[in-house]
């Protein structure tokens, strides 16, 4: 074999834990399939070189029972096959097996050589807390609704929420560049409204517009938002692509916090037996893709997902990943002032509560509704909620 075709691999490997449906024999066979599917996707007996078999094909590092119907296989891959970028990494993690039933990505563990390829969240928990002047309490966010309102109406709402101390006032994810609500006018009016309220209150509320497509205009649109005074960006990676979210987060011209919205993306985490776990999708992947906060539906609301899924999403937002900062879980669904103690017991204080109906429903005065929520998250001692 000539030297110029020999693989030069560092030996550093990343590890992916897959939950596989079946008994031990089935799980072992499927784990062996994953090792091939996610790398060479080629019959082993046709592989022309032993260094490819030894170096490229995934390796089963462990196989352990999860419950009567599932096993967890940890498989390792050489860092080089990821191409050292997000798209290539995700392709190795679950590209081909996205076509298969009964295999779910649970979590992953990346060595320094791969982590170095990612900047991760620009702000993370500490950075976002510093921007908001909120060192330790739960944060409050809301959405400007409903679709159909004109920019002036949305800006009026934004102003009232900011006056009441809502930390992050985001566009509803469905807001795009609509004939009845053009993007530029919306971000200029809402950005101005939140800044005006901040001048009056001394708060540092952030306006986070949804950055609409087309994808090749997202940088330009994000820059319009920044110039209009937006303090963060709402991105739907299920629509824009995870790597586009990463680009927006990484861009030093923008330098804004990024909030990840699960629109069109949650299918990956809704199937149970397919896709990714909540820990992986809403936690680990969101962080690699540069999100500073990650929205998901709280269990028991109208959204799919169990109590455990939500705990795992929150855990994935803070589990150790080298220099990749911890971020805020941002649960939505059914959050009200009355239920706040329950939510704080569940998520602790490192959380952004995304409160929509809970801030519109209590009464017609949105500022009063917001103030009540702000007081509730500020009420000391916070630890009294934490069991």
What's the closest the beta carbon of residue 214 comes to a second copy, in angstroms? 5
Our finding on whether 223 is near a second copy (CB under 8 A) is no
Distance CA 66, CA 74 (A): 12
Our finding on whether 159 is near a second copy (CB under 8 A) is no
Name the segment binding a second copy (CB under 8 A); options: 59-67, 120-128, 200-208, 212-220: 212-220
Our finding on whether 115 is near a second copy (CB under 8 A) is no
* Binding-site member from 135, 148, 202, 381 for a second copy (CB under 8 A): 148
* Binding-site member from 68, 135, 179, 381 for a second copy (CB under 8 A): 179
* Binding-site member from 58, 120, 138, 212 for a second copy (CB under 8 A): 212
Q: What is the 3-state secondary structure (H, E, C) of 5-32?
A: HCCCCCCCEEEEEEEEECCHHHHHHHHH
Distance CA 209, CA 233 (A): 6
Both tokens of 273, joined, read 């037996």
Our finding on whether 275 is near a second copy (CB under 8 A) is yes
Coil, helix or strand at residue 86: helix
Our finding on whether 120 is near a second copy (CB under 8 A) is no
Our finding on whether 214 is near a second copy (CB under 8 A) is yes
Distance CA 250, CA 263 (A): 21
Backbone φ and ψ of 294, nearest 5°:
-130, 115
Which residues within the stretch 286-315 sit at the binding site for a second copy (CB under 8 A)? 296-297, 302-305
Site map for a second copy, 47-86, x if CB under 8 A?
A: xxx-xx--xx-----------------------xxxx-xx
What's the closest the beta carbon of residue 224 comes to a second copy, in angstroms? 15
Distances (CA, A) of 91 to 83, 95, 208, 277, 350: 10, 4, 30, 16, 31
Our finding on whether 178 is near a second copy (CB under 8 A) is yes
Q: Are 234 and 212 in contact (CB under 8 A)?
A: no
């Amino acid at each position: 074999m000539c030297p110029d075709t020999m693989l030069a691999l560092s030996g550093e490997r990343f590890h992916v834990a897959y939950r596989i449906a079946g008994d031990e024999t089935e799980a072992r066979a499927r784990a062996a399939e994953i090792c091939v599917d996610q790398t060479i996707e080629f019959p082993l007996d046709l592989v022309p070189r032993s260094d490819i078999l030894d170096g490229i094909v995934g390796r089963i590092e462990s196989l352990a029972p999860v419950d009567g119907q599932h096993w967890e296989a940890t498989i390792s891959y050489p860092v080089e096959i990821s191409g050292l970028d997000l798209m290539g990494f995700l392709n190795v993690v679950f590209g081909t097996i996205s076509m298969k039933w009964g295999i779910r990505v649970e979590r992953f563990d990346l060595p320094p050589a791969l982590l170095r390829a990612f900047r991760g969240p620009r702000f993370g928990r500490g950075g976002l807390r510093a921007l908001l002047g909120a060192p330790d309490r739960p944060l409050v966010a809301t959405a400007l609704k409903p679709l159909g309102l004109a920019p002036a109406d949305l800006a009026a709402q934004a102003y009232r929420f900011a006056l009441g101390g809502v930390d992050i006032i985001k566009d509803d994810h469905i807001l795009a560049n609509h004939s009845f609500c053009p993007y530029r006018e919306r971000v200029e009016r809402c950005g101005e409204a939140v800044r005006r309220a901040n001048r009056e209150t001394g708060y540092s509320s952030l306006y986070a517009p949804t950055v609409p497509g087309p994808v090749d205009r997202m940088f330009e649109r994000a820059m319009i938002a920044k110039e209009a005074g937006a303090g963060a960006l709402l991105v739907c990676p299920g629509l824009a692509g995870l790597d586009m979210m990463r680009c927006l987060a990484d861009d030093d011209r923008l330098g804004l916090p990024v909030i990840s919205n699960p629109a069109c993306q949650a299918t990956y985490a809704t199937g149970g037996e397919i896709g990714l776990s909540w820990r992986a999708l809403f936690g680990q992947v969101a962080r690699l893709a540069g999100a500073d906060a990650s929205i998901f539906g709280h269990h028991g609301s109208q959204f799919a997902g169990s109590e455990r899924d939500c705990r795992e999403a929150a855990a994935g937002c803070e589990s150790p990943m080298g220099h990749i900062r911890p971020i805020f879980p941002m649960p939505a669904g059914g959050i009200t002032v009355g239920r706040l103690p329950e939510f704080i017991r569940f998520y602790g204080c490192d959380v952004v509560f995304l409160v929509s109906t809970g801030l519109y429903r209590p009464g017609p005065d949105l500022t009063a509704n917001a103030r009540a929520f702000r007081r509730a998250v500020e009420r000391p001692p916070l630890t009294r909620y934490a069991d």
